[in-house]
Amino acid sequence: MGSVSLYRAETRRLLKRRFTKLFTIGALLILAAVAAGVFFTNHKVGTDQIAEAKGKAHAEYLRSVASTEQVRKDCEAARGTSRAGEFPPNCELAAPAESDFDPEWYLPATFDFKKGFPDMVTTMAAVLALVGFVIGASFVGAEWNSGGMMNLLLWRPRRLQVLGTKLSAFLVAMTGLTVLVAAIWTAVFYGIASLRGVTTGLTSGTWQSLGLMELRALVLVLVAGALGFGLASLGRHTAMALGVAIGVIVIFQFGVGTVLAIAHVKFPELYLAPFWVIAWMAKKYVAEDYNSCNFDVGGGCQPDTLTITWQMAGSALAIILVLVVGAAMWTMRKRDIT
Amino acid sequence: MEAVLEIAGLQKTYRSRKGVRRALDGFDMVVEAGQVHGFLGPNGSGKTTTLRTLLGLIRPNGGRMAILGREVPEHLPAVAGQVGAIVESPQFFGNFTAWDTLSLLADAGGVRRQRVEAVLELVGLRDRGKDRVRTYSLGMKQRLAVASALLKEPKLLILDEPANGLDPGGIREMRTLMRTLSESGMTVLLSSHILGEIQLICDSVTIIAAGKRVATGSVADVLASHASSSVRVRLEPGIDLLGAAEILRAKGAQVDLGTDFFTVGNANNPAQITRILAESQIYVSELTPASADLESVFLELTGTAPVDGQNRQVDQVAAAGWGQ
């Protein structure tokens, strides 16, 4: 009963906070803008669009033939003059073939749900993870900063239970938000594909794969939220989490990225967080070292590769999560509240 | 009488690069049921550290504490529902209304929501309860803090500087509230710097200085036991009052100059005054015990009386007692 009432109070507190509302609305507006952008830049391809594309391809072919013919004439005229060197010997110019002009190139952009939606899931995950990080940090950081945490502990002198319940209430709320947004996101893009693209090739396996990807998006959002919460709790201020985030981006991503590039480290992506996130969302990320050369059967040069799998990325996320949240819980238990 | 709060030998040490600081050095305190107990001490003496330690916010290095007969911090979760507290000036989310703030605390503590209206009425915020806290004055925030402490109908109410920011009317209302609560059987532990208020409303007091208890008992007892230590001195007409005061100060006396007299605050042995002055051919015409008030007792016990020409630093405590 006691824990339930605390959980309810924390959920109410989270949902009542203006910061939570503003940031959530902001994120939803960003996602709406992305969806609107995809809607307006894609078009349905029907017989009219195909006929128009074929017409454009044919016209382009004819322009190319005429242009080639003009060059041949110029070449013939330039024979024996100082400009002869500007043209091929004997004016041998290959005439363009109509097959060189694929009508598909002239089709308007169209949204293929099967191919395009995974990228949209990653976009959604990134936006919601950012929202989760900031709201999570603010939810506990503002409490520490304002003395609200101390007030709460005067009512509930069980530190770990209070922090744990607060974190649980936040993560459950973020789960609700992410599931709801993911469902709407899927419906919206299926609608966009129906109106401005194609929805072909969607087997049960495709849906399962998309479902699992959205599940990984949910995990990413929750981990980001818990990290923001944990860091702000460690520093007892929202700014601690935001400072660490900015520090990680500036020092470790840009700084380390530059140093690794200068030092010609073989796979710099291995040290950069965004590639681990991509690996987590897309199931793998293949880093390539273009300085190496492995001859293939055709005599071509293939670079060395290193694959970051989703299992590796998941393990890294779990380790960081355990370290940060564990440290937050430990300090909550041990440090005086002054 | 039954003790609602007992502290014995409480120790708290802070370690930093600057060294070790003993915030509490074997502090003792007993508060009996149904009393309004004043908790006094200069800045940095350990008052807030004591309250925070008692409420489980700070881990002590030693000593024993009990609330309502239960050892704390071990059994604090069991007694927390019967202890209402504000420690220093609590701050609240500016965008929440007073009603939101209190109802969230009520939810967290499993207190029925009807109590919110009742405590808002009690502290005089009924008509402003739906306003955002950011629109409140300091005094109104203080009332809200007291309301939050009263929300769970505590048996023991701990208030750290509850009159901070209150206007004179508010201070009087707070005094009446403390009395009413005490008469209803609630025990109130009141930390304050407004010594006149403490003297008016408290049944008993504990005075702390440099982390140690320097006095405790009923207000009357504390005043009586220190009444003789302060004496008023008049000299023969025409004698340089300032010069005489300087002679006594040079010997360690705490001297406050009046218009045609001066008061020696730490004169445990008044004969010393006559002897020292007589050595300088200055003769006393009147030497009477000054009637002590809580402020003078406090200043004497804590060694924090201002000295002309000196800027006392926090943590700086003069040696109490002189002329013994």
Same domain, A37 and A52: no
> Residue A63: which domain range?
47-106
User: CA nearest B60 in A: which residue?
Assistant: A336
| DSSP at B307 | -
Q: Per-residue pLDDT for B148 more than 80? A: yes
The whole-number average pLDDT for the span A1-21 is 87
Higher pLDDT, A47 or A40: A40
Task: Specify the pLDDT at position B21.
Answer: 86
Task: Specify the pLDDT at position A2.
Answer: 64
Same domain, A284 and A321: yes
- Return the H-helix or E-strand segment holding A75: helix A47-78
Q: Which of A95-99, A168-172, B309-313 has the highest mean pLDDT?
A: A168-172
Same domain, A55 and A162: no
Same domain, A199 and A77: no
d(CA B226, CA B300): 9
Q: Which of A59, A74, A106 is the last residue of a domain?
A: A106
d(CA B39, CA B202): 9
Chain B residues 117-156 with CB within 8 Å of chain A? 148, 152
Helix (H, G, I), strand (E, B) or coil at B139: helix
Task: Specify the pLDDT at position A136.
Answer: 96
Helix (H, G, I), strand (E, B) or coil at A46: coil
Task: Specify the pLDDT at position B306.
Answer: 62
Q: Per-residue pLDDT for B288 more than 90? A: no
Q: Which of A56, A89, A106 is the last residue of a domain?
A: A106
Same domain, A82 and A137: no
Given A10, A13, A337, which is nearest B58 (Cβ)?
A: A337
Q: Which residue has the tokens 């014995």?
A: B8
Q: Which residues 6+ apart lie within 8 Å of A288 measured at CB?
A: A303, A304, A305
Decide: B58 and B49 in contact? Cβ < 8 Å: yes
Q: Per-residue pLDDT for A118 more than 90? A: yes
d(CA A15, CA B23): 40
Same domain, A236 and A260: yes
User: CA nearest A165 in B: which residue?
Assistant: B108
> CB B92 to CB A13 under 8 A?
no
B13–A contact, CB cutoff 8 A: no
User: CA nearest A3 in B: which residue?
Assistant: B108
pLDDT band, residue A272 (cuts 50/70/90)? confident
> CB A155 to CB B152 under 8 A?
yes
Q: Which of A90, A106, A122 is the last residue of a domain?
A: A106
Q: Which of B61-75, B79-93, B267-281 has the highest mean pLDDT?
A: B61-75
Decide: B135 and B152 in contact? Cβ < 8 Å: no
> CB B56 to CB A157 under 8 A?
yes
**Residue-wise pLDDT tens digits, A216-237:** 999 999 999 999 999 999 998 8
Helix (H, G, I), strand (E, B) or coil at B59: coil
The whole-number average pLDDT for the span A83-94 is 82
The whole-number average pLDDT for the span B11-35 is 89
Tally of CA atoms within 13 A in the half-sphere of B138 that contains its CB: 10
- Indicate the pairing of strand B36-40 with strand B204-209: parallel
> CB B73 to CB A157 under 8 A?
yes
Same domain, A127 and A266: yes
| DSSP at A90 | G
Same domain, A31 and A125: yes
CA distances from B38 to A334, B132, B159 (A): 31, 32, 10
pLDDT band, residue B222 (cuts 50/70/90)? confident
Task: Specify the pLDDT at position B228.
Answer: 58
Q: How many independent structural domains does chain A possess?
A: 2
User: CA nearest A162 in B: which residue?
Assistant: B108
Among B16, B53, B57, the strongest candidate for a mutation testing the A interface, having the largest count of A CBs within 10 A, is B57
- Indicate the pairing of strand B19-32 with strand B3-16: antiparallel
- Domains of chain B listed by start with CATH number: 3-224 (3.40.50.300), 226-302 (3.30.70.980)
d(CA B101, CA A58): 72
> CB B104 to CB A9 under 8 A?
yes
Closest CA relative to residue A3, chosen from A135, A167, A145, A230? A167
C-alpha Rg value of chain B to the nearest Å = 23
> CB B108 to CB A337 under 8 A?
no
**φ, ψ for residue A100, nearest 5 deg:** -70, -15
Same domain, A93 and A120: no
Give Cα B278 distance to the centre of its chain. 39
Decide: A135 and A176 in contact? Cβ < 8 Å: no
Our CA dihedral for A232, A235, A241, A242, rounded to 10 degrees, sits at 120
> CB B76 to CB A157 under 8 A?
yes
d(CA A171, CA A222): 6
Task: Specify the pLDDT at position B311.
Answer: 64
Same domain, A153 and A23: yes
pLDDT band, residue B90 (cuts 50/70/90)? low
d(CA A104, CA B147): 73
Q: Per-residue pLDDT for B185 more than 50? A: yes
pTM of the model: 0.80
B100–A contact, CB cutoff 8 A: yes
Same domain, A71 and A24: no
d(CA B230, CA A77): 125
Same domain, A83 and A126: no
